[in-house]
Every structure is written in C-alpha cells, then in structure tokens.
A and B are shown apart, each in its own frame.
With several copies, the nearest count.
Chain A
Amino acid sequence: MPVYSEKVMEYFMNPRNVGEIKDADGIGEVGNPVCGDMMTFYIKVKGNRLEDVKFQTFGCGAAIAVSSMVSEMAIGKTLEEALTITPSMVAQELEGLPKNKFHCSNLGAQALRKAIRDYANKKGIKIKGLEEKGEEDEEGEES
C-alpha cells in the first residue's frame, strides 16, 4: 500500500461527511477525472459559520482522506476562519502525506474555498481572505 499514516488510513476507511447537501448554500468543484482526482464540496452556512460541510470525491485514498479531513476541520468555523485552512495544515492534521500525494491536500483546500466563493457570489458579499486569490491561482496553487 502507499505509505499512508494511520490517520490517513482512518479518514479513508471511515470518511466523515460524505455526501451531497441538497440545498447547499455553496458548491465547489475542483480537479478533473482525467488527472485522477475530482472533489465536490457542499457547504451550509448559518450566520457566518459553516454549519455543515459535505463532499464527494473521485480519487485515491489520499484524496478521500483529505476531503474528509478538510470537511471536519471546516465545520463550525466562521467563513473567514475556514479560508485560512491551508494544504499544509491539512497534510499536518493527517500526520503527513506521501510526496506524490501532496497535490491531494491542495485540492481539498481549494474545493472548500471554491464552495465559499460560490456562496459569496450568490450572496453578493465580500469575505476577508477570499479576494486575495483569483480562481485560476487556486486551481494551480502549489501543485
């Protein structure tokens, strides 16, 4: 097996927050099945907080574990706080990722950010931390 940490294995085998939120307040989709991984994040916002986060992921063990970890890290956070989640924080929470799987942790953070952006766009609001990066940057960042 890939040399995954126990934490990755746990989050892969028993993923948290899998699924779709039917009436999501924001949806973010990143990746591409051609490249191997694709993630869709759904968020439900209450007040300024992420009341619920769910995901669907097509991809490897790391991609699933990352999605699961990001969703768990995000739930309960304010939107501003959620936007501070970085790929390296995700990797660290997962007790490390194999080198050639780093890009999965990027994808997770990107998908969440995209869902928040979707929410912001729909609401026509500005959120601190969101304007700093263009969408294109997000797709490409650190990968």
Chain B
Amino acid sequence: MRKVYLDNVATTPILLEAVEVMLPYLREVYGNPQSLHSWGDEAREAIDIAREQVAALIAGNPEEIVFTSSGSEANNLAIKGLAQAQAGKGKHIIVSAVEHFSVLHAARTLEKAGFELTIVPVDKYGLTDPDEVAKNIRKDTILVSIMHANGEVGTIQPVAEIGMKIKETGVLFHTDAIASTGNIGVDVKGLGVDALSLAGNQFYGPKGSGALWVRKGLRLIPLMDGGVQEGGRRPGTENVPAIVGLGKAAELAQRDMPSRMEKLSHLRDKLIDGILTTIDHALLTGHPSQRLPHHASFCIEFIEGEAMLMLLNSQGIAVSSGSACTSQALKASHVLIAMGISHEIAQGSLLFGLGVDNNEGDIDYVIEKLPPIVSKLRQMSPLYARFMKEHRG
C-alpha cells in the first residue's frame, strides 16, 4: 500500500542532512557545554554555531536566541516570562482568539494570577484586524501576542502591520511563529516584534528543539530556575544533538525556502482543487491565498473527522483533524469556532500538511481515496440523510 504522510503540520520528518550532523553529538561528542575541558568546548562550539544558524534564519542576533525543548516551551517562556518581567508597568495582555493553547492557556494562567486578558476576535478567514489590536491597547497593556501563522487553518496573520500599528505604544509584541518559521520568510525586524517562538520539528529539524528569540536587552523571567545555561534564561543541561539539528534545519530551510515554497504551494493548490471539485459540501478553511504554502484545511460537511482519519489511515494516508472527537477534551477546535464555523461543521475538520517528501502522485492518491471515504461515511450519516431528504426529496 502506498504510504502518504500529509501530517507535516503535526510534525515534519527530519531531513537526513540534519540527522547526520546530530549523530556525532549523540555519540562521540558527549561533553556538557558548561564543562571546562575540551569535551565541553566541542559541545559549546557546536551550540554556538547552531545559535548563529537559527538567528540567521529569522534575521536576529545569536545572543538573542534562547534554546528551548519545544515550541510550547518557547511560547510559555515568552508569555509568562515577558508579562512577569513587565508586571511593574501594568497587567493587561492581548492575544488573538486563534492562538495555540501554549499561548492562550499561558495567558489564562496569568489571568488567574491577576493579569487582565483581552482576546481579540478573528474574521471568517482567521485574520486578526490590526486596528482591533491597536484599539484594545490601554495604558496598562504590557504585552501583545498574535501568532504569525495558524497551524490549524494555515492563515498568515498581518503581523508586520500589527507591529507598525502598536510600535509607538511601546507595548511588547510577541509572535508565535512556530507554524511559519522555516516554511515562509520570517524576519524579526520586518515583523516589528520583540519576541518570536519557533520549533525545529515544524521545518524538518528534530523533535525536542525550539527557540525563543527575544530582542536584546529585554528582561525575561525564566520559567525554570537552576543553572546559568542560555544566559540564565533557560537552565538544564543543553540538549546538544537537538540544538545542532535545529541549527542545521534552519540553515537548510534558509537555503531551500524558495524552492520548497514553490513546490509545496503547487502541490497544495492541486490538492485544494482536487478536493473541492470531487467532494460536494467541502469548505476550505482559513484564508484562500494568505496561507502557509504547505497547508490545506477543510471542513467536510455531514461527517466527522476522526472517522475520516481512520479510514484514510487504512489507505496509508496520514492527516489531522480539529474535530471534537479527535481532541482529548472532546471539544471542537477553538480556532474553527472563533472563525464562526458551527460546531456541527467543525466536526468535519480535515487538515493536510504537505512536506518536501510529497509528490504529485501522493496528491493524486488522496484525491482518489478521499471521495469514497466521504461517501461511505455520509451513507451512514443521519445528517446527510436529513439533508438529502430536505434538498432533493
């Protein structure tokens, strides 16, 4: 059976070139970067190089990079660390309604601890209105966090415009660029942000690797206490192989970005066309053009996401869904709901993350296999039966 991995939004595979550079640091170069001997030196030098590679990808400075163990950790460090460091100035925070839970719930945790939270809405494409953000800034606002690209619907937010709008207020501006970094151009200066989160496993780097870029001079209260690693901002023995792999992935992403984007957006457009033309009552979620080049997301009406996932998996196809049944909490995606999609339709969420390993054949295969799966489930669906009665019968 053909195997088609289209869940690169959940995690990408690692590129072999990145694995190769990690291997020595898994095996022979095992020193602790904090150690004062040549074993330590080799490890420290490797981290220094990775820091430069990651900084280069986002046009930041190496000393502004704080390595973390995941994107979620980078987001938590940014939200909690910046808000707590600024708490003397005010207690008001603004985030968008479609942030990842590592931002949204971090902000909620701060809310419980006495901060005030404003959640700005999004439109039906998942876009935040820059004016809406600016309008909500108050005297005591200390932090705004608006994601760069949404992992569930692929929409790219107008971060640079928001940055411009709020620049003169002096309020700190963080962006969760975990879904975007390495996939599209990300430039901290161009975006006008003060802090930015990224994660290696979103662009063919290793799991367990993430980073927070924080503008030089900005105070940050660490999430964890301990040693002096990462300039005292993130303690614990450094995960040298993961950091090295992240660095290499950053370098490769920078090098290959134009060709990857071209290839992936072509495949994506083919997939979107194929699905919308072969399946009735399928809805593209997110913005039609202002979206990640490797991202295609839909709601397929009258049926439920988990059931689709399982049948697709039985055909060797891996995708994700934001349906309630696929979430541990059995709640429909807060992103789809925030975009005004009904709970019923949100149940049919299906999300494709294309990757550099995919080819036209993969897309053809999906377009061949998905329609009969949808039909099979619709044949079982009381909603579809009712719809057919009402509209055809």
Residues of chain A at the chain B interface (Cβ within 8 Å): 1-2, 9, 12-13, 15, 18-20, 29, 33-40, 55-64, 100
Q: Is B41 an interface residue (CB 8 A)?
A: yes
Interchain CB contact under 8 A, B330 and A100 = yes
In the complex, which residue of chain B has the Cβ closest to the Cβ of A34? Answer: B343
> Complex Cα distance A62/B325, Å?
9
Interface check B307, CB cutoff 8 A: yes
- Residue of chain B at shortest CB distance from A67: B380
Bound complex: CA A65 to CA B381 (Å): 13
0/1 per residue, B353-393, Cβ < 8 Å to A? 00000000000000000000000000111111100000000
Tell me whether A36 and B304 are in contact (CB under 8 A): yes
**B344 and chain A: residue at smallest CB distance:** A33
Q: Are A60 and B307 in contact (CB under 8 A)?
A: yes
The number of inter-chain residue pairs (CB within 8 angstroms) is 82
Given that A36-B304, A58-B304, A59-B325 are contacting pairs, would A1 and B382 also be in contact in the complex, using a CB cutoff of 8 Å?
no
Q: A1-B310, A1-B313, A64-B307 are in contact. Are A38 and B385 (CB under 8 A)?
A: no
Per-position 1/0 for B289-313, Cβ under 8 A of A: 0000000000000111011011101
B380 near A15: Cβ-Cβ < 8 Å: yes
Given contacts A1-B36, A1-B310, A2-B36, contact A60 B325 (CB under 8 A): yes
A57 near B306 with CB under 8 A, answer no
A1-B37, A1-B310 known; A58-B325 Cβ under 8 A? no
Q: With A1-B36, A1-B38, A64-B380 in contact, is A35–B324 under 8 Å at CB?
A: yes
Q: By the criterion CB–CB under 8 Å, are A33 and B310 in contact?
A: no
Distance from B331 Cβ to chain A, minimum over Cβ atoms (Å)? 9
> Which 10 pairs between the two chains have the least Cβ-Cβ distance?
A60-B325, A56-B382, A36-B324, A33-B344, A60-B306, A34-B343, A40-B382, A58-B381, A61-B310, A58-B383
Q: A74–B311 Cα gap in the complex (Å)? A: 26
Binding site of B, secondary structure by majority: helix, strand, loop or mixed? helix
B211 CB to closest chain A CB (Å) equals: 22
**B40 part of interface (Cβ distance < 8 Å):** yes
**B259 interfacial contact with A, CB 8 Å:** no
Given contacts A33-B343, A59-B304, contact A39 B38 (CB under 8 A): no
B216 to chain A, nearest CB (A): 15
A108 → B minimal CB distance (Å): 13
- Check if B382 sits within 8 Å of A13, measured CB to CB: no
Assembly CA distance A61 to B130 (angstroms): 41
User: Is the contact region of chain A dominated by helix, strand, or loop, or is it mixed?
Assistant: mixed
A-B contact list, 7 entries, CB within 8 Å: A1-B309, A33-B344, A33-B347, A36-B332, A39-B382, A60-B304, A60-B325
A12 touches B382 (CB 8 A): no
**Given A56-B385, A58-B382, A60-B306: 12 more A-B contacts, CB < 8 Å:** A2-B36, A2-B310, A18-B379, A20-B385, A35-B324, A37-B325, A38-B382, A57-B382, A59-B304, A60-B323, A60-B325, A63-B325
Contact B323 A36, beta carbon cutoff 8 Å: yes
Which B residues are in CB contact (< 8 Å) with A56? Answer: 380-382, 385
Find chain A residues with CB under 8 A from B343 CB: 33-35
B-chain residues with CB within 8 Å of residue A38 when the two chains form the complex:
382-383
- Give the docked Cα–Cα distance between A38 and B324 (Å): 13
- In the bound complex, residues from chain B placing their C-beta under 8 Å from that of A34 are 342-344
Whole-angstrom distance between the Cβ of A62 and the nearest chain B Cβ: 8
| Pair B383/A36 contact, Cβ less than 8 Å | no
Q: Are B307 and A59 in contact (CB under 8 A)?
A: yes
Contact A18 B380 (CB under 8 A): yes
B39 to A, closest residue via Cβ: A1
Q: Find the A residue at minimum CB distance from B313.
A: A1
Chain A residues near B330 (CB, 8 Å)?
35-36, 100
B278 at the interface (CB under 8 A from A): no
Q: What B residues does A19 contact at CB under 8 A?
A: 379
Set of chain A residues within 8 Å of B342, measured between Cβ atoms: 34
Question: When the two chains form the complex, which single residue of A12, A35, A39, A40 contacts B307, counting CB atoms closer than 8 Å?
Answer: A12
| Distance from B323 Cβ to chain A, minimum over Cβ atoms (Å) | 7
A100 touches B379 (CB 8 A): no
On chain B, the residues within 8 Å of A18 by CB distance are: 379-380
Which residues from chain A contact B303 at a C-beta distance below 8 Å?
58
Closest to A98 in B: B328
A35 CB to nearest B CB, Å: 7
Q: How far is the CA of A35 from the CA of B332 in the complex (A)?
A: 8
B237 within 8 A of A: no
Q: In the assembly, what is the distance between CA of A122 and CA of B311, in Å?
A: 39
Give B328 Cβ to nearest chain A Cβ, in Å.
6
Q: Indicate whether A29 sits within 8 Å of B40 (C-beta atoms), given known contacts A1-B309, A60-B325, A61-B307.
A: no
* CB-CB nearest in chain B for A4: B310
- For residue A18, which residue of chain B has the nearest CB? B380
Which residues of A are found within 8 Å of B41, using beta-carbon distances?
1
Most buried by B among A9, A38, A57, A59: A59
Q: Which single residue of chain A is at the shortest CB-CB distance from B38? A: A1
> What is the distance, in angstroms, from A122's C-beta to the closest C-beta of chain B?
20
